[in-house]
C-alpha cells in the first residue's frame, strides 16, 4: 500500500504556515534552469503564470485542452464575476 506524505508541519494550526515559510528550501537563482514547471491551462491566469515563471528563468511547459491557447474565455469570466459582484463597468469609446 502506498503511504502519502502531505508534509504538513507539526505544531498548532495557527503556526503551521509560519513554520513552513521558515523551513522552506528556496531555489538558488543559478539552479532555476534545472527545474521544469508544468502549467495546465492557458487562460488568463495560466498564461500569466507561465510567462512570469519563464521570465524568472524556469523551464515552462504549458498545456491546454483547447485547439489554441488564445481560445480562453477569461474575459467572459471576468464579466460574469463583475455581474455577480454587481460591479458596474462602463465601456468608453
Q: pLDDT tens for residues 26-73?
A: 788 888 888 899 998 877 788 888 888 899 889 999 988 765 555 556
Question: How many other CB atoms are found less than 10 A from the CB of residue 63?
Answer: 12
Per the structure, the complete domain to which residue 43 belongs is given by 32-93
Residue 61 forms part of a structural domain: yes
Residue 25 forms part of a structural domain: no
How many domains does one find in the chain?
1
Residue 63 forms part of a structural domain: yes
Model-level pTM? 0.51
Q: Give the Cα separation of 22 and 59 in Å (integer).
A: 26
Residue 65 forms part of a structural domain: yes
Residue 7 forms part of a structural domain: no
Residue-level pLDDT at 60: 93
Residue 27 forms part of a structural domain: no
Amino acid at each position: 500500500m502506498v503511504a502519502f506524505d502531505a508534509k504538513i508541519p507539526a505544531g498548532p494550526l495557527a503556526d503551521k504556515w509560519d513554520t513552513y515559510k521558515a523551513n522552506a528550501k528556496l531555489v538558488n537563482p543559478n539552479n532555476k534552469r534545472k527545474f521544469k514547471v508544468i502549467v495546465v491551462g492557458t487562460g488568463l491566469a495560466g498564461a500569466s503564470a507561465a510567462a512570469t515563471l519563464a521570465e524568472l528563468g524556469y523551464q515552462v511547459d504549458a498545456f491546454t485542452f483547447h485547439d489554441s491557447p488564445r481560445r480562453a474565455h477569461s474575459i467572459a469570466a471576468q464579466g460574469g464575476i463583475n455581474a455577480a459582484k454587481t460591479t458596474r463597468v462602463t465601456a468608453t469609446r
